[in-house]
Amino acid sequence: MKDLARKADRFEATVVNDASASGSVSVGGVFTVECYDAAGQLKWKDEFHNLVVNQGLKDMNDKYFTGSGYTAAWYIGLINNSPTPSLVAGDTALSHAGWTEFTGYSQANRPTLSFSASTTADPSVISTASAAAFSITSTATIYGAFVISNNTKSGTSGVLFSEGAFAATRSVVNGDTLNVSYSLSNDAA
């Protein structure tokens, strides 16, 4: 094979980058709640998405990227429907003026969330290994649920990670059991 390039020939190469390429991550979770009556019969089941609050997003960044104050201890709580609740991104464990915690259950503390391994897919999902159980001791209307790093009922220290509300409030009575699961996904949006 004969090389046809001559001294006067000129070759050029251009690399074009897609200047519009960017990456972002979307974080969101889903609560799944099942209510069983005293006889163990399923009364209702519901799922709802959560709002990952600013305090939770900051905590995620601090722990993952700067390694500060890491803990894997997370708990779940219930949101009372009275007074009329509102959920906002600025809510924190200390200050969530738009809602109050429902504590009418027999467990001494908020139930622990125990997570299974996350997936490697996009989105990556991590879910509770088993549902957190609430043994209801009073009649009430439940508005939603939240994830927090403090296990003390009505405790206001720690990190409020997320909160969410049913599409329509749900009623519970003494003797009911609420089983609450939580799945969190990180999506390369």
- Profile the chain (189 residues) by mean pLDDT over runs of 10 residues: 45 53 80 97 96 90 79 91 92 94 98 91 88 97 96 95 95 98 87
Q: What angle do CA 60, 102, 174 make, to 5 degrees?
A: 135
Say which DSSP state 65 is in: I
Q: Tokens at residue 107, please?
A: 């467990």
21 CB burial (10 A radius; 0-12, 13-18, 19+): exposed
Q: What is the pTM of this model?
A: 0.84
Would residue 157 count as lying in a domain?
yes
Count of other CB atoms within 10 angstroms of residue 83: 9
The per-residue pLDDT for 189 is: 66
Domains contained in the chain, number: 1
The per-residue pLDDT for 10 is: 45
Would residue 70 count as lying in a domain?
yes
Would residue 6 count as lying in a domain?
no
The per-residue pLDDT for 142 is: 97
The per-residue pLDDT for 89 is: 95
Q: Tokens at residue 29, please?
A: 């979770």
The per-residue pLDDT for 22 is: 67
Range of the domain at 31: 25-188
Would residue 181 count as lying in a domain?
yes
Would residue 99 count as lying in a domain?
yes
